[in-house]
Structure 1
Amino acid sequence: MRQTSPSAILVGLPGLAEEPLPMSETMPAPLSDLLRALPVDRIALESLQMRLEYWFLTEVLVWSTLGQLAVIAAALLLARLTARPLREALVRAIARRRQPEQSLRRLTLLVAATAFPIVAVLLLWFAMAVAAGPDWPRLLISTVAHLLTAWIVIHIAAALIHDETLSRLVALFAFGVATLGILDLLGPVMAALDRLGVEIADVYISVLSVLKAMVLLAVLLWLATVLARVLEQRIHHARTLTPSIQVLIGKLLKFSLIAIAFLVTLRSIGIDLTAFAIFTGALGVGVGLGLQRTVSNLISGIILLMDKSIKPGDVIEIEETFGWVSSLGARYVSVTTRDGKEWLIPNEDLITTRVINWSFTSDRLRLPLPFGVSYNSDVRKAMDLAVEAAGEEPRVLKEPAPVCRVMGFGDNSVNLELRLWIRDPVAGVVNVRSAVLLRMWDKFHANDIRIPFPQRDLHIKDADDLVAALGRLRPNASAGGGETAEIGRRPEP
């Protein structure tokens, strides 16, 4: 078979052979037989094959394309070598933290899992930046870099964003940007979006700047939230700060970071912040009218944190709600009751309503247990048994010691009250009362101490009219099939 260069076998190009070569000389025998059997134009197929060969030899098997393929292969190989140590370092770093913030932990583990494509895309973008200086060919590198970047963004967004609709929007945005970058249309599209805009108070706001601001604000708000949570955890472990100061500093840091995120976003658009003086005054009027309760709760929360009247861990009682403060928010206080209910009480209510803080100055709590014994029982012995029963309960404090007092003489019993102290009201109050009362019950039964119940003696001086009235009702009751009772006069003593 004679050898022919690709430039000499193209049909229809200047300087090339006018007669196409026989099919048997330009392609393998099985393919030639297949093409002969197909009902197609043999000359057109030969022309298409020749053009494909020409494109492959002039566009693929050239030094520029081979150089880009070599750069891509080197980037993938280097990423493969460095991804594993980087992944292990990230896993060790997150494992050394005692209680890492969940969002930070999830992001770190996600970056560790995708370390290979992240390192590869960074190397490819670096290669593109280097090739842009001497204007070297970089179309193939750009295509692979854009596709890898879109895949990383979509993968991370799907893992971090729980909202399916928002996750799909992020994926569509990333894929669209990658497609425009591959087709080299990203620059023209951005220029067109930049020309669409309006001018407000000597500030030109375009569609492109608004889109950039939205993306920047979303990223900055997420970073501010994660950073605020990390700082709150650090502050929470500071032993020298009280719980109220810890919460106050954490809230102020969070508000400050969010405010910085908004200010940076506004500056990125080109808005002069000094122009917000008039807007701030109008906003103050709007706050005074429409957001009065919200701002009141916010200010009340700051007051509660500053005066330390209520802090996390306190056992409080407000109206009919009894529980312990689990968290202090910007708008409300979370109070968890013994039955597992979590009440969200507005901060303003804690300022304007009477609140019982059972652990304000001390975490000790005195429990009164009133009871009564019969007049025929030994009262002193009953008091000693009650104190002994309280002393046997593990949660009852030894100091101050339990005491029992005589409160008065009632109609049916001698009224006593057992007073005991506990240190952990968060663990429950009713359960301590129940345990002590059960111990008292056992000791009273073992020592013949009687607990009376209310009773009344009814003396009837003359029952003649009552017996006559009941006697008239007896026939009616018998006719109705009901039971009757024999009522007679008790003999005179």
Structure 2
Amino acid sequence: MEGDLIDAGLSLWREVELFLRSMTSPWRIYQIGIILALLAVAHVLRIVVGRRLEDWVRRRDGWPRWRLRLSVIVIQRLRGLFFVALIWATVWIMREVTWPSRSYVLGIAATIATAWMAVSFGAQLIRNRPLRRMVTWGAWIYIGLLYLGFLDGATVFLDSIAVTFDDFRISALSVLKAVVVTGVLFLGARLILRILIDRISRSEDISPSMRVLATKALQVVFFGSAFVIGLRAVGFDLTGLAVLSGAIGVGIGFGLQKVVSNLVSGIIILLDKSVKPGDVISLGDTFGWIGELGARYVSVVTRDGREFLIPNEDLVTGQVVNWSHSDDFVRIDLNFGTSYNDDPHLVRRVAVDAAKTVPRVLANRAVACHITAFGDSSIDYVLRVWIRDAHEGLASIRGGIYLALWDAFKDNGISIPFPQREVRMLEKAPDVTEERQA
């Protein structure tokens, strides 16, 4: 094993040494100098043209986001684009005025540079920056080895770096192939998922909770299939991996009971549709609307902009008030009291008319006012109104209705009693000591 590694390394080195010796001829040295000069010219053009292009793009206020992003990508790669254009023009001129052998190195450099630029633009489809860099550099290295003629030697060298377990052999080459194939499959799965998820999100026949469930299921199926197919495509035996994963699952299952419980609870929530994105809920002291259903938690956004991440298990096992479960109509009860000197019939009529003037109160739903009790200092009432925008907040609608009641009661001479206490000052009592002495 060690001898094969040394032989492969020596063979690769001999290929590199032979290539370097071939670059020592005068015309190839001239071509290397031309390449360096073209790189310098491309750098100068990038400085001159890049600034003007950046200023021009900044003034495009009405452009869509994708066009601005594409412009930024192009500006960042202007040096490479200028170099590709210059070197291909040089290759064409050299082949027209002299022998093809005298532009051989220029042709290789132009081909590699063009392929590198294509990879650089294509890698922008990968949103994850570390993964995008890894894919870009891996593709650049592969292209360089291919066009320089070192690919076969590098392949043999990587294959010689291996570890053997009984009948199972894993080498650096097989690991690299697995990473590349799996990465390509993941990229394809991501693109297909983006199209499917976009269609699901725009379908009005599917409820919001089922959209989330379908999205999660598609992600598991596509990414799981890409992982398994990628490993199988390069010859990995997944039997041992299945046994190992089962053993690990049993070992860590006890330590992840809460995590598993939240995952299962999330699936239950999606299936029974008890809550869905956009619902207004109350859980303990938390009141807000659901922004996102995650695999482990539910995101609840409150009126003051705070976002609570509530575990799925709490929604399944706890008492949750869903203000918009079956519909988005919500009734609000407001309690108040008036003086015994005010006519209750007038109070009820004025209260109902005042509540109807508040914009968020539904006029097509009955607004009612009832006497609830004869209190110690007031007649107590309850005013019941309906709204259908609870996500806009309850405190604001209550405050608006109370303010409308205040104005209406003031205009109609209706008073709101409040507790009053009368303090009586008694005369000075006779001194008990003096009475005893008398």
Same fold (TM over 0.5): yes
Pick from 402, 409, 417 the counterpart of residue 437 of structure 1.
Answer: 402
Aligned partner of residue 380 in structure 2, secondary structure: strand
Cα drift, residue 351 of structure 1: 1.0
Q: Which amino acid aligns with 1:306?
A: L
- Which secondary structure state, in structure 2, belongs to the residue aligned with residue 452 of structure 1? coil
Partner of 1:376: 341
Larger Rg: 1
Instruction: After TM superposition, give the deviation of residue 331 of structure 1 in Å.
Output: 1.4
Write the distance in 2 (CA, Å) between the matches of 1:171 and 1:245: 37
Q: Does 1:347 align with 2:306?
A: no
Deviates more, 1:192-201 or 1:381-390: 192-201
Shift of 1:155: 4.9
TM-score (structure 1 length as normaliser): 0.64
1:395 maps to which residue?
360
| 1:234 corresponds to | 199
Task: Rate the CA distance shift 1:249–1:162 in 2: closer, same or farther, 3 A.
Answer: closer
8 Å CA contact retained: 1:203, 1:270: no
Is the CA contact 1:313–1:325 (under 8 Å) kept in the aligned structure 2? yes
Q: Deviations over 1:42-82 (max 9, x none)?
A: xxxxxxxxxx9x965x999xxxxxxxxxxxxxxxxxxxxxx
1:153 to 111, 119, 126: 119
**What's the CA shift string for 1:322-378, capped at 9, x where partnerless?**
011112111111111111112111111111211111111221100001111112222
Match of 2:324 in 1: 359
Q: Report the Cα offset of residue 158 of structure 1.
A: 7.0
Residues 316, 355 of structure 1: 8 Å contact kept: yes
Q: Distance in 2 between matches of 1:463 and 1:223?
A: 97
Cα separation, 2, equivalents of 1:108 and 1:224: 27
Deviations 1:376-412 (A, max 9, x none): 2222211111100111223212343100011112222
Cα gap change, 1:346/1:268 in structure 2, threshold over 3 Å: closer, same or farther?
Answer: same
SS at match of 1:291: helix
Deviation at 1:265, TM superposition (A): 2.2
CA distance in 1, matches of 2:270, 2:414: 51
8 Å contact from structure 1 (residues 370, 416) kept in 2: yes
Residue pair 1:217, 1:262 contacting (<8 A) in 2 also? yes
Note if contact 1:387-1:403 (Cα within 8 Å) is conserved in structure 2: yes
1:267 equivalent in alignment to 2:232:
yes
Contact preservation (8 Å) 2:119, 2:140: no
SS of residue matched to 2:206 = coil
Match of 1:253 in 2: 218
Q: Does 1:323 align with 2:288?
A: yes
Secondary structure in 1 matching 2:328 = coil
Match of 2:15 in 1: none
Amino acid at match of 1:151: M
Distance (whole Å) between structure 1 residues aligned to residue 301 and residue 317 of structure 2: 21
Q: 1:201 to 1:259 in 2, by over 3 A?
A: farther
The CA deviation at 1:172 is: 4.6
Displacement of 1:161:
5.5
Q: Which amino acid aligns with 1:360?
A: H
The one-letter code matched in structure 2 to 1:415 is D
Distance 1:269 1:374, change over 3 A: same
Give the 3-state SS of the residue equivalent to 1:198 in structure 2. Answer: strand
* 1:191 corresponds to: 156
1:450-491 deviation line (CA, Å, top 9, x unaligned): 11122223445565489xxxxxxxxxxxxxxxxxxxxxxxxx
The within-5 A match list for 1:81-120 is none
Partner residue of 1:292 out of 257, 273, 286: 257
User: Closer, same or farther in 2 for the Cα pair 1:259/1:161, shift >3 Å?
Assistant: closer
Task: Report the count of equivalent residues.
Answer: 359
Measured at CA, do residues 168 and 294 of structure 1 come closer, stay the same or move farther in structure 2, by a change above 3 Å?
Answer: same
Give TM-score scaled by structure 2 length. Answer: 0.71
Aligned mates of 2:68, 2:270 — CA distance in 1: 29
2:236 and 2:273 map into 1 onto residues whose CA distance is 40
Report the Cα offset of residue 191 of structure 1: 1.2
Conserved in 1, the CA contact under 8 Å of 2:155 and 2:173? yes
Alpha-carbon distance in structure 2 between the residues aligned to 1:237 and 1:359: 21
Aligned in 2, Cα 1:166/1:316: closer, same or farther, shift over 3 Å?
same
Which ranges of structure 2 fall in alignment gaps of 5 or more residues?
A: 1-22, 31-63, 89-99, 432-438
Partners of 2:182 and 2:231 within 8 A in 1: no
CA gap of 1:247–1:255, structure 2 versus 1, over 3 A, is same
Q: Distance in 2 between matches of 1:174 and 1:214?
A: 12
CA distance in 2, matches of 1:199, 1:304: 47
Letter of the 1:401 partner, please give it.
A
> CA distance change for structure 1 residues 326 and 405 in 2, over 3 Å: closer, same or farther?
same
Residue 207 of structure 1 deviates from its aligned partner by: 0.5
Instruction: State how far apart, in whole Å, the 2-side matches of 1:377 and 1:293 are.
Output: 59
Please say if 1:144 is aligned against 2:110.
Answer: yes
Q: Cα 1:171–1:277, aligned 2, differ >3 Å: closer, same or farther?
A: closer
Counterpart AA for 2:115: T
User: Residues 258 and 287 (structure 1 numbering): CA distance in 2 closer, same or farther, change over 3 Å?
Assistant: farther
Measure, in 2, the Cα distance between the counterparts of 1:201 and 1:105: 56
Question: Which has the larger displacement, 230-239 or 313-322?
Answer: 230-239
Structure 1, gaps ≥5 residues long = 1-51, 61-98, 125-135, 467-493
Tell me the SS of whatever aligns to 2:169: strand
Shift of 1:220: 3.2
Task: Please say if residues 298 and 331 of structure 1, whose CA atoms lie closer than 8 Å, have aligned partners that are also in contact.
Answer: yes
Q: Give the SS at the match of 2:409.
A: helix
Superposed, which structure 2 residues align to 1:441-452 within 5 Å? 441-452=406-417
Q: Contact between 2:126 and 2:187, CA under 8 Å: does it hold in 1?
A: no
Structure 1 vs Structure 2 CA RMSD: 3.9
